[in-house]
């Protein structure tokens, strides 16, 4: 499919326009669905913008071609935009491949002293699907390592009244975990604070940051969370990634692509 721009005597095949329209509509429907279930972030917004552009290009292809042919610089600029887009898309696919390849096993040889579970959204005081998967994994790990302390970490979400940590603790107790094993860190508002405040909570109980720790988060978050944990002073961290529900998985991975870049700019790791 040639989308590098029009040249004299050539026209975009009609099938290519239909393909662009189909891809754009599928992306847009996916994004709109995620918005209806209150999932709104860059991993949703960016695909929605791309979908809108694809739909517009398919519907107004002839007008667009005529405008491009009006000035030579327009065609050159358009080709540069396309080259930049495909470079970005290639980098995103490489990032996806790295995330997939680096997914750590939920099991491990080391016997952790601590299991720290990172919070996620809690709409209406309930664990979101992403958070529920983290908690199920944490419960499984707690069963495998009965001597490990379990720390649930997360403050109060915007417009929510119950801290994430309280919702998480209640969920784990509902699964069957002994409440006496759970410590709540309910003041943090970021991954870095999750790890720093959890460390302070444990240090007050005599547990240092050099003990073996399993860090439970989502599959897309394991790479960055491990980096942040190292900066927060944890020296023996093994991330464990819960599978992100398929309907939002690649949107979440796209969001993480931008989060890794912004975290690097902000020196979070």
Residue 213, strand partner residues: 114, 237
Separation CA 224–CA 232 (nearest Å): 12
pTM: 0.81
What are the percentages of helix, strand and coil residues in the chain, rounded to 5?
60, 10, 30
- Domain layout of the chain by residue ranges: 14-101, 114-265
pLDDT digits (tens, 9 = 90+) for 61-84: 989 989 999 999 999 999 999 999
The conformational region for residue 124 under phi > 0 = left, psi -120 to 50 = alpha, else beta, is left
Helix (H) or strand (E) holding 214: strand 213-218
pLDDT digits (tens, 9 = 90+) for 95-129: 999 988 876 555 555 689 999 999 998 988 999 98
CATH superfamily placement of domain 114-265 = HUPs (3.40.50.620)
Name the percent of the chain lying above pLDDT 70. 92
Q: Phi and psi dihedrals of 229, rounded to 5? A: -60, -40
Q: How many CB atoms lie within 10 A of CB 69?
A: 14
Residues 6-35, mean pLDDT to the nearest whole number:
82
> In sequence order, what are the residues at sequence separation of 6 or more whose Cβ sits closer than 8 angstroms to the Cβ of residue 200?
none
Residue 20: pLDDT band (50, 70, 90) is: very high
Token pair listed for 210: 């050099």
DSSP helix/strand/coil, 268: coil
Say what the pLDDT of residue 8 is: 46
Say what the pLDDT of residue 16 is: 87
pLDDT digits (tens, 9 = 90+) for 184-238: 999 999 999 999 999 999 999 899 999 999 999 999 999 999 999 999 999 999 9
> Is a pLDDT exceeding 80 seen at residue 2?
no
Token pair listed for 89: 């898309």
């Amino acid at each position: 499919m040639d989308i590098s721009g029009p040249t004299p005597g050539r026209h975009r095949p009609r099938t290519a326009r239909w393909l662009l329209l189909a891809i754009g509509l599928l992306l847009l429907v996916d994004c709109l669905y995620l918005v209806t279930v209150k999932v709104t972030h860059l991993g949703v917004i960016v695909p929605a913008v791309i979908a809108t552009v694809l739909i517009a290009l398919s519907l107004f292809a002839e007008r667009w071609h005529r405008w491009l042919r009006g000035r030579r610089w327009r065609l050159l600029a358009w080709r540069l935009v396309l080259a930049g887009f495909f470079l970005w898309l290639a980098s995103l696919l490489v990032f996806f491949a790295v995330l997939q390849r680096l997914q750590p096993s939920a099991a491990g040889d080391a016997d952790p002293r601590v299991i720290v579970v990172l919070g996620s959204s809690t709409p209406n005081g309930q664990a979101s699907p992403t958070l529920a998967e983290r908690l199920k994994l944490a419960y499984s790990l707690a069963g495998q390592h009965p001597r490990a302390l379990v720390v649930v970490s997360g403050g109060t979400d915007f417009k929510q009244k119950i801290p994430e940590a309280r919702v998480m603790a209640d969920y784990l107790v509902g699964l069957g975990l002994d409440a006496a094993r759970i410590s709540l860190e309910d003041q943090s508002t970021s991954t870095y604070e999750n790890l720093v405040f959890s460390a302070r909570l444990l240090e007050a109980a005599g547990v240092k940051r050099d003990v073996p720790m399993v860090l439970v988060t989502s599959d897309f978050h394991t790479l960055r969370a491990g980096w942040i944990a190292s900066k927060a002073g944890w020296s023996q961290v093994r991330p464990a990634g819960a599978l992100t529900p398929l309907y939002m998985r690649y949107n979440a991975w796209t969001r993480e692509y931008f989060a890794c870049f912004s975290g690097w700019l902000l020196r979070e790791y």
